[in-house]
Amino acid sequence: MTGSKAFLYAAMLAAALAFGVVMLGAYVRLSQAGLGCPDWPGCYGHMVVPESVQSVVKPLEPARAWKEMIHRYFAGSLATLILVIMVMAWMKRKEPGQPLLLPTLLFGLVIFQALLGMWTVTLLLFPPVVMGHLLGGMATFVLLVLLVLQSGGYLRNGSAATPLMRGLAALGLAVLVCQIALGGWVSSNYAAIVCPDFPTCQGSWWPAMDFSNGFSWYGLGPDYQGGILDSAARVAIHVAHRLGALCTFLALGAAALLFLLNGGNRELKATGGAVLTLLLLQIVLGVSLVELGWPLPLADLHNGTAALLLASAVTLNWAAWSGKSKT
């Protein structure tokens, strides 16, 4: 094991906390509580939700405000823990195998993530910022998972992976990242429920769509809660996400299946099996969401499974590349 046990356990705790923050953030977004507190970092000028407020533009809704503030408390705790991890890394920087770059990058990322959280509120759910905030949360989680793998010295038998396996793993991860970004664009533009049927959309295999407006960045408007795009633009976003899901299933599924069947060692096979299991679960959840009318718990689970799938795809690449032979 490289590094100290204390550092490894801190990284594990941070990864678990980051996953919780991702789930909480999705719940806040999906329950329409993103503007529950119209200011940042407090709520109506307080660090706890006040019992009542007067003379404000946006009336206080305590239930929504508490959802937002609880998410901020957890995010603040995560930022503090990542700061501690970075300080520990620099203090132990002379120890053999001590990760230093990742903790430093993570601290920079969490600062930028805090800025995105502020802009999410102050820019009234501007879609590019909301999508960026989602991706930032996912990136924080998976980088912490990578830090655990690195500091714990796990899954370093990649020499058993073939060049084809490594190439497919990298391709699958790239396609998955694009698909998660598409999912964030669906969510930030409120395009999830525009197609209430599956596999068709609005009863058609190719409904009326406006890709130009669906994937354009509009200037700042008065308020993006509920979305501002028309139906054709939202349908284009939703259908693009479905097509992206198909591409992800093919690319990442092929990589996972190859690792599962021809991994070369037990660790590679197990990692491929985990990716394939999460990928199939995510497909089932996506279809179920449409069929069941997008219930909130299932939608939040869909977001959480996406985070776990991304972490498993990163782990697959780590397992394939970390022990690559130098010959």
Residues in the chain: 327
Q: What pLDDT sits at residue 323?
A: 64
Identify the active-site residue in 68, 95, 267, 291. Answer: 68
As a whole number of angstroms, the distance between CA 52 and CA 40 comes to 18
Q: Which residue has the higher pLDDT, 101 or 153?
A: 101
Token pair in block for residue 5 = 């046990």
Q: What pLDDT sits at residue 157?
A: 67
Following DSSP, what letter does each residue of 172-239 receive, concatenated?
HHHHHHHHHHHHHHHHHTT-GGG--SSSSBTTBSS----HHHHT--PPP-S--TT----HHHHHHHHH
Under a CB-based contact definition with an 8 Å cutoff, are residues 80 and 73 in contact?
no
Q: What pLDDT sits at residue 322?
A: 82
- Minimum mean pLDDT range among 10-19, 155-164, 270-279, 311-320: 155-164
Q: At 66, is the pLDDT very low, low, confident or very high (cuts 50, 70, 90)?
A: very high
Share of the chain above pLDDT 90, in %: 81
- pLDDT, average across residues 132-143: 97
Q: Which residue has the higher pLDDT, 215 or 220?
A: 215
Instruction: Enumerate the β-bridge partners of residue 204.
Output: 201
Domain ranges of the chain: 1-154, 156-327
Decide if pLDDT at 327 tops 60.
Answer: no
Residue 189 has a CB neighbour count (10 Å cut-off) of 23
Q: Give this prediction's pTM.
A: 0.94
Is 68 among the catalytic positions? yes
Q: Sign (positive/negative) of CA torsion 25, 27, 30, 33?
A: negative
Q: At 57, is the pLDDT very low, low, confident or very high (cuts 50, 70, 90)?
A: low
- pLDDT, average across residues 32-43: 92
The per-residue pLDDT of the chain, averaged, comes to: 92
Token pair in block for residue 49 = 């939700």
Per-residue pLDDT tens over the stretch 81-109? 999 999 999 999 998 888 999 999 999 99
Under a CB-based contact definition with an 8 Å cutoff, are residues 133 and 34 in contact?
no
